[in-house]
């Protein structure tokens, strides 16, 4: 498998398809309901819109991304908006190296980039930083989206299988990713929004 050039995604003349310059509506709703609380990690934060949203609601937030260019932009946004968010370059597959634990984790478009082997590593990585009883809010491309262009489609069954041990899936609901129309000519794509709780192994 070829490793995507994530830095390259943030140095093109136009924003990446997922970089819409505002938080995804699904996470706005979660924030308005007060669900994105405690110490929160935005895993794969890109240019930081979800993390900055949480900070604007008073949350204690850290955002990580493998792209140094994305993190640089996120830091600039935080400074411009006078919001306290810690943004760091880090690998989503090696979150334990942060040496931190969180009450809440959000994943907006990360899970679906991984092939099967790295998917297992990613779920274990999330488990290493989310406290017992903590919640993960995960939005990924859905198998309801027609065609094959773009990220790998994910079924509800795949989500349930990936988070089978050490997790409890509270809900998986149909939602939509808002997109930068300059790429696909469409404003949104089908997604799943999953609410998943970390539970202690018996």
Q: What is the DSSP letter of 182?
A: H
| pLDDT 10s digits, 124-178 | 999 999 999 999 999 999 999 887 777 789 999 999 999 999 999 999 999 999 9
Name the pairing type of β-strands 102-108 and 130-141. parallel
Predicted local distance difference test score (pLDDT) of residue 181:
66
Contacts of 44 (CB under 8 A, 6+ apart): 64, 65, 66, 92, 107, 108, 109, 110
Name the pairing type of β-strands 167-178 and 188-198. antiparallel
- Is pTM beyond 0.75 here? yes
Taking 60 as the threshold, does the pLDDT of residue 110 lie above it?
yes
| pLDDT 10s digits, 42-94 | 999 999 999 999 999 999 999 999 999 999 999 999 999 999 999 999 999 99
Q: What is the rounded distance in angstroms from the CA atom of residue 57 to the CA atom of residue 38?
A: 11
Q: What is the rounded distance in angstroms from the CA atom of residue 131 to the CA atom of residue 151?
A: 29
């Amino acid at each position: 498998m070829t490793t995507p050039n994530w830095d390259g995604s943030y140095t093109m003349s136009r924003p990446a398809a997922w970089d819409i310059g505002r938080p995804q509506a699904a996470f706005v709703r979660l924030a308005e309901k007060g669900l994105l609380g405690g110490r929160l990690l935005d895993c794969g934060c890109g240019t930081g819109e979800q993390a900055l949203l949480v900070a604007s609601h008073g949350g204690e937030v850290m955002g990580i991304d493998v792209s140094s260019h994305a993190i640089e932009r996120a830091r600039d946004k935080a400074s411009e908006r006078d919001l306290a968010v810690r943004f760091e370059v880090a690998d989503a597959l090696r979150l334990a190296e942060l040496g931190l634990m969180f009450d809440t984790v959000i994943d907006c478009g990360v899970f679906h980039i991984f092939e099967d082997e790295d998917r297992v590593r990613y779920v274990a990585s999330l488990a290493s930083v989310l406290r017992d009883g903590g919640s993960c809010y995960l939005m990924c491309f859905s198998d309801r989206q027609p065609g094959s262009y773009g990220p790998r489609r994910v079924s509800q069954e795949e989500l349930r299988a990936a988070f089978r041990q050490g997790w409890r899936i509270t809900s998986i609901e149909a939602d939509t990713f808002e997109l930068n129309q300059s790429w696909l000519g469409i404003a949104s794509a089908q997604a799943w929004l999953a609410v998943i709780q970390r539970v202690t192994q018996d």
